[in-house]
Structure 1
């Protein structure tokens, strides 16, 4: 059973593994002074025994999950020197945090005590706008796919019609042409000389 995890200053990079949330007995988590990027998983709120979390001096971005307000035992939070944006959570134990927890995250907004700009309505709706954009692009992609399939069906259908019409025209061109009837008697009257002439 792991209680403390300290892997600071190890030149680690990449996104934070979501499997961290499975360490539900963890009390101390220090991932600072690496080059982690991406976002903090919302699933970290499953780590109910967490007392300290330090992810400072990384390249983490996106919003600070509001779900972290559920951490009832959290005392120390250091998210400074990253690229977080949006509103700083201020519910639960986060209400006891100070400006030191969020230093040098220039796109944050929220309560004045954190020394960040007050969030505008646009900033508060940032998440909703992003979700709408995702839904729009997904819907657009689905519509484009349906449109492409429809065009292919129409083109195939008209090509098939064109080929059928062409075949019908060819049949009509030869319709009415009567081939001469050749009997055995007629063939028997052909001389060897005439046969040789035809072959040559």
Structure 2
């Protein structure tokens, strides 16, 4: 009989954020609230998309996968080899970031040609929330994965990592779903079904 790892994890420690024991309570409550919002919000999105056949389109398929990945990001180990992260991260992170920026330059040029001020406002409102998440996501990813190890700072990395792994996945359900008319209808349908 082969013997595997027999260790059992019985506690979770938040190291590097604050060493003062007086702050442990509110840190725990804050992280618990963010994780619960993350898991609940993304689970509701997945349920709404699966429950409404009008949302069985490629866009919502990818939104559902984003929600699933956010839940997995919240519940898994995020450590990675520094060399692999830097070499592959440079390509994997920077390529889509540059494509997104170029796309938004074209979108902005097209929107500025729209004669209606209300139409421009609606497009910029939608694009603005998306760009906020893109900036948070790529800004934190770049500062964590694409930097020389000589610039390492425990405090800075702790804050950036919390934003990257907790705050952004928590915001995604609000930004990508609750501003969408089809998602709002699917959520209403889902809540009526539960009553």
TM-score range, shorter chain: under 0.3
From the two aligned structures, give the one with the greater strand fraction: 1
From the two aligned structures, give the one with the greater helix fraction: 2
Which entry has the higher C-alpha Rg, 1 or 2? 1
TM-score, normalised relative to structure 1: 0.20
TM-score, normalised relative to structure 2: 0.21
